[in-house]
Chains A and B, each alone.
Chain A
């Protein structure tokens, strides 16, 4: 059947058709939907793991046990999972194992723009790169075949424009894969030095075999279009090249982006007068071509930063493009904001009032860094807030301890925050950690996590008791506040910053967008009571604006959280009886 599918959805379909049995992932844009769509297939066990390292180890265990397995993550998640990655390259697999990694050129929703192809080379693993949804489906199946044929985990690299584009796929049936018998084989699976030394040459030989396979595999293909111009490309860059040139130039389209086919590339180079490599992000294929002694052009004209497009290729290759009209007006930016009624807003306001230095983390609450709250000083990676605060306070002593806090979400705390908290308790750091518990993984679109009490299918599941967990690691001062109650939050932050021992404040309110959270009737402003002091504007609620010198509430956005009423000294915000949305 022909259907439109997201690239991520097509990977999930490929897993289904390939007979995969176990999938474990941690959500991360743009990779999240691979696992969300898998969870709709009852034939495949799927789960959200606390982090990417755990997910990859679960997938490895399933492969080791004899069933085809998969894990998905975004590029920065692969950093978290890098430890097992490099060693399962040595052990190889029992049943097939595929690792989906989604890069984000252009950083639509990421904190860096790394090129995951370097991991394939560094860990000496094969990497496939589809360029549309159809190839997502087919290459997922091909990846399992490669994995079993060459006894290796296989990386499947996507990027935002593949993960989040829908194109036409042809679906097929599932092929059930009987379990590969599990046999104890310590020399292969126990990577202590003596065994690992014997595995390293196996890995090197495997790379040579894969490189030989790459020469003739139909994962790589030459599309002939004359000898004037030849372009080596892969992934979305291939689609941009096709958009510009159609069939008028010769293209070497690489689906297996590591290891690269030496002879195929050299033969292709010899078949054209001028050779270009068109690749997003780093000089990966081009560097390989140069190492082969080929005369090639690439990053000398194309950027290493940001996404490509058809017009970028036109511009760089001297082909006219339509520039489009311009408007004689200043168009203000529209940055993302915390939603109306977001429970993080009140807590951030309390931090601003306490003039706290805020070591932040990755999630919706990172938006607390934006004006008008501007309540954040640092954001690095998942979990870095708590350990970063500990280091900050060890460096500054009381000057840090009385002023600085870490803020981290419930899902991120489970991902890699708790180890930082253990460090604080163990090393006697007088630090104040705030867990923003909105009872869901918010930023990626509402995935369950170990604190929510539900699994990926929405069924009841083991639920971490955050208070008990914090106490168990050695924090004696643990308190819960309601972020809709500003004074309570302001007092709690002040007290815990003053307290002479480590403490955790859990700011608890479910995400305002959760279906289980029913909005209250919207508030309205009595214009006679509004004294135009603009105190309410300091909270940065998108539902409140100033018109003709008076505050007004957008009734379509307001969820009646009442935080603004606490900011107004004149009682101008009033409740209404309007039906809830």
Chain B
């Protein structure tokens, strides 16, 4: 099988590392060779963060390059736009519509662009944009945005439901398991 590429992008502190660990476990359990690459350090502190998840028969490079991502899962709208050039010609963007102003916008040195979803569509991107933050709050915590997005992603590749359940159980603390299962289900079923 050809190597498949999933990018997880967002803002430091949004839980993208946990999402990438969950995906790594899921795909390893499914029998694939997997590589997950993350950048920590200064970028943890409110900066732009990106994680690469690659899987297939045999994965070489730990990074995804421009024009190579089958899926870009974005935790924040501006970050989806920032990483758009990484999308494969027939790739798909799954993005939270939540907007988090970066410091240059907060200080007035730059503007948060309007209509990013339509701009990305105009650039030819296949986009699934939805409000994951509201769904996470409905599940019980604004911190569950990451699992809501994993639920959404699960619609797009054929892995059995119990494989996801197992990976979630292996990745989140026991006391938050029910909350996260609910967040996953809401992400998967919401319009």
Contact = CB atoms under 8 A, between A and B. Distances in A.
B132 to A, nearest CB: 13
Contact of B123 (A325, A331, A337): A325
B13 to A, nearest CB: 8
Contacts of A370: 103
A546 B106 CA distance: 7
Given A242-B60, A326-B123, A334-B11, A321 B102 contact: no
Contacts of B111: 330, 332
A545 B106 contact: yes
Interface stretch (A164-172, A288-296, A410-418): A164-172
Interface string A423-448: 00000000000000000000111000
B103 A239 contact: no
A391 to B, nearest CB: 27
Contact of B61 (A309, A324, A337, A364): A309
Contact of B65 (A166, A309, A336): A309
Contacts of A166: 21, 24, 34-37
Contact of A330 (B67, B107, B110): B110
A372 B47 contact: no
A321 B120 CA distance: 21
A540 interface: yes
Interface in B119-164: 119-120, 122-125, 142
Given A165-B62, A337-B46, A372-B107, A327 B40 contact: no
Interface string A516-549: 0000000000000000000001001010111000
A336 B47 contact: yes
A333 B62 CA distance: 25
Main secondary structure of the interface of A (DSSP, over half): loop
A370 B82 CA distance: 21
Interface string B101-115: 111111111111100
Given A161-B62, A336-B47, A323 B105 contact: no
Contacts of B43: 108-109, 336
Instruction: Output the residue of B41, B88, B120 with the most chain A CB within 10 A.
Output: B41
Contacts of A168: 28, 33-34
B4 interface: no
A323 B67 contact: yes
Interface in B43-60: 43-48, 59-60
Given A4-B28, A324-B86, A371-B109, A164 B46 contact: no
A311 interface: yes
Interface in A1-56: 2-4, 29-30
A339 to B, nearest CB: 6
Instruction: Output the residue of A29, A334, A445 with the most chain B CB within 10 A.
Output: A334
Contacts of B42: 29, 108-109, 336, 367, 443
Contacts of B46: 334, 336-337, 339, 542
Instruction: Output the residue of B13, B28, B39 with the most chain A CB within 10 A.
Output: B39
Contacts of B116: 329
Nearest to A32: B40
A556 B99 CA distance: 13
B142 A556 contact: yes
Contact of A326 (B12, B44, B85, B107): B85
B81 interface: yes
A353 to B, nearest CB: 18
Interface string A368-397: 001110000000000000000000000000
Given A167-B59, A327-B123, A333 B104 contact: yes
Contacts of B45: 336-339, 364, 367
A332 B78 contact: yes
B70 interface: no
B20 to A, nearest CB: 8
A556 B61 CA distance: 37
Given A164-B37, A334-B78, A542 B61 contact: no
B81 A329 contact: yes
A240 interface: yes
A310 B67 CA distance: 11
Instruction: Output the residue of B60, B62, B86, B89 with the most chain A CB within 10 A.
Output: B62
Contacts of A371: 103, 107, 109
Contacts of A372: 107
A31 to B, nearest CB: 11
A94 interface: no
Contacts of B24: 4, 166
Contacts of B109: 371
Nearest to A2: B28
A178 interface: no
B66 interface: yes
A328 B118 CA distance: 11
Interface string A99-128: 000000000110000000000000000000
Nearest to A160: B39
A236 interface: yes
Nearest to B66: A324
Contact of A324 (B33, B41, B87): B87
B84 A326 contact: yes
A546 B108 CA distance: 9
Nearest to B124: A325
Interface in A215-264: 236, 239-240, 242-243
A237 B4 CA distance: 20
B110 A322 contact: no
B178 interface: no
A335 interface: yes
A338 B62 CA distance: 29
Given A166-B36, A537-B107, 16 more contacts: A4-B28, A108-B42, A164-B40, A166-B34, A167-B36, A239-B60, A240-B60, A309-B63, A324-B67, A325-B87, A330-B113, A334-B82, A339-B13, A537-B106, A537-B108, A545-B106
Interface of B: 11-13, 21, 24-25, 28, 33-48, 59-63, 65-68, 78-79, 81-82, 84-89, 101-113, 116, 119-120, 122-125, 142
10 contacts: A4-B25, A30-B41, A166-B21, A166-B37, A167-B33, A321-B67, A322-B68, A322-B88, A328-B122, A333-B104
